[in-house]
Amino acid sequence: MAMRPITFFRAGSIDDAVAAVSANPDSAFLAGGTTEIDLLRLGVIQPTLLVDVNELPLTYLEDTEGGGVRIGAMARMSDVARAPRIVERYPGMSQALLLGASEQLRNMASMGGNMCQRTRCAYFRDGQSPCNKREPGSGCSALTGVNRGHAVLGTSDHCIATHPSDVAVALVALDATIRTIGPDGTNTIPIERFFLRPEDTPSVEHPLAHGELIVAIDVPNVPVARTSRYVKHRDRVSYEFALVSVFSAMRVDDAGNVAELRLALGGVGTVPWRAHRAEEALIGRPATPENVAAAADAEFADARTTPMNEFKVTFAKRAIVRELSEVSS
């Protein structure tokens, strides 16, 4: 593969960063680089300009009105995971961060960058196989290829790639908001609208304009999240992506019925998957294994599987039953 020259620019302000990327259609922001540099080396992405945003004043972690937390986009995953206010108010998010990567990567990876990390689908990353994410209209090799780790929820005829983030699963369950600054000013995006399902345009993963920079993530005050948990099931305990993961936060009332539930799944969806159907099925009912199993069935009613990944449906249902049974006991 022939080397391509890349211009590097270290932005001194948010405005400078936005202006530099907006002016060049072949440019990109560079944060921690833990995924982006790999994709550059593989030739999957080929920007002519990289705008380094590491020096921008976006590493803060601060309280917001109402008891929530605002996380600067350049806050490192390791710092956020161990911040006392995160551990106390959102332990499930802390666990997701700690399980999301090795210590070395967590020390480099930024929260904003994690929201934009690309899939680990081998066909996307090999730079050669037909892939609608990398080359729109070329096809999806995973549909008939090796797809054991691919998604079963939110898929389309054009893409079945799994979303890789762990912390995004927690943030979806917590109704976080993405704050951005771009060429047209400031913007706020509810996190479930930030992650786009592939449908007919797998290459469009977020509703961000070119040059629009994530500057912060707002996490609201969610009292039930103080007892939240994140469990990750994978092929090996050491650094690996999820086959199935479960974020849960549940409150049971004095009558033994589920009064509040936040449930989200990783490893099974093309986006971090909020389990709305399962939540709705359980609210107002006891969290018995039978009721939880019925709720899990409802969540996966529209699952689309292949012979290689159909195990994920049973695996995920059992993981939900086990997790919510333990939380309610």
C-beta pairs of 121-128 under 8 Å, 24+ apart in sequence: 121/150, 121/161, 121/162, 122/146, 124/44, 124/161, 125/38, 125/39, 125/42, 125/44, 126/42, 127/42, 127/43, 127/44
Reported as a single tens digit per residue, the pLDDT across 285-295 is: 999 999 999 99
Number of domains in the chain: 1
Q: What is the pTM of this model?
A: 0.96
Which residues form the domain of 310? Answer: 226-328
Q: Is 74 a member of any domain?
A: no
Q: Is 303 a member of any domain?
A: yes
The residue behind tokens 């004043």 is: 57
pLDDT band of residue 3 (cuts 50, 70, 90) is low
> Does 1 score more than 70 pLDDT?
no
Q: Is 253 a member of any domain?
A: yes
Tell me the pairing of strands 49-52 and 7-10.
Answer: parallel
* CATH number of 304's domain: 3.30.390.50
**Residue 188 CB burial class (10 angstroms; 0-12, 13-18, ≥19):** exposed
From CA 83, how far away is CA 88, in angstroms rounded? 9
From CA 150, how far away is CA 161, in angstroms rounded? 5
> Does 239 score more than 80 pLDDT?
no
The answer to whether 56 and 11 are in contact (CB under 8 A) is yes
Q: Is 255 a member of any domain?
A: yes
- pLDDT at residue number 329: 65
Q: Is 191 a member of any domain?
A: no
Structure tokens at 57: 């004043």
The answer to whether 259 and 163 are in contact (CB under 8 A) is no
Q: Is 67 a member of any domain?
A: no
Reported as a single tens digit per residue, the pLDDT across 107-153 is: 899 999 999 999 999 999 998 999 999 999 999 999 999 999 999 99
Question: Rounded mean pLDDT of 201-208?
Answer: 97
> Does 4 score more than 80 pLDDT?
no
